[in-house]
Amino acid sequence: MKREIPLLISMAAGIFVLIGFFVPHPAIRDIYDDIQGWVIIVVAFTYVLGMANLLRINTEQIQRRAKDWPYKLALVLSLIATMIVGFFFSRGSHYLDDGTGFSWIYLTFYSSMSSTMFSLLAFFIASAAFRAFRVRSVEALLLAVAALILMIGRVPIGNAIHPAIPQIADWLMEIPQNAAKRGILMGAALGVIATGFRVILGIERTYGEGGGT
Partner 1 sequence: MSAFFANLRRLDRRWIFLTVGLLVVVPLLTGFHIAPVLPSARARGFYDAIEKVPPGSTVLLAGDYDPGTIAENYPMHLAVSRHLMRRNIKIIAVELYPGGPPLADQVLHIAGAEYKKREGYDYVNLGYKSGNEAVMSAMGSAGIPRTFPADRSGTPVGQIPVMKGIENFGQIAMIVSVSAGYPGTKEWVQQVVSRYHVPMVAGVTAVSAPEYYPYLQAGQLQGLLGGMAGAAEYEVLVKAPGLATRGMDAQSLAHIFIALMIILGNLAALPQRTPGAKK
Residues 6-45, one symbol each (x = binds partner 1 by CB under 8 A, - = not), give --------------xx-------x--xx--xx-xx--xx-
Q: Minimum distance between the CB of residue 1 and partner 1, rounded to whole angstroms?
A: 27
CA separation, residue 139 to residues 35, 114, 135, 176 (Å): 48, 36, 8, 14
Residue pair 99/83 in contact (Cβ under 8 Å)? The answer is no
Residue ranges in 49-88 that form contacts with partner 1 under rule CB under 8 A: none
**14 DSSP assignment:** H
Residues 119-158, one symbol each (x = binds partner 1 by CB under 8 A, - = not), give x--xx-xxx-xxx-xxxx-------x--xx--xx-xxxxx
Helices in 133-200 by DSSP H: which ranges?
138-153, 156-161, 164-172, 178-200
Q: Does 185 bind partner 1 (CB under 8 A)?
A: yes
Determine if residue 23 is left, alpha or beta; phi over 0 gives left, psi from -120 to 50 gives alpha, anything else beta: beta
Helices in 23-137 by DSSP H: which ranges?
26-63, 69-88, 101-105, 111-132
Q: Does 90 bind partner 1 (CB under 8 A)?
A: no
- Which residues would be at the binding site for partner 1 (CB under 8 A)? 20-21, 29, 32-33, 36-37, 39-40, 43-44, 47, 94, 96-98, 103, 106-107, 110-112, 114-115, 117-119, 122-123, 125-127, 129-131, 133-136, 144, 147-148, 151-152, 154-160, 166, 170, 173-174, 177-178, 181-182, 185
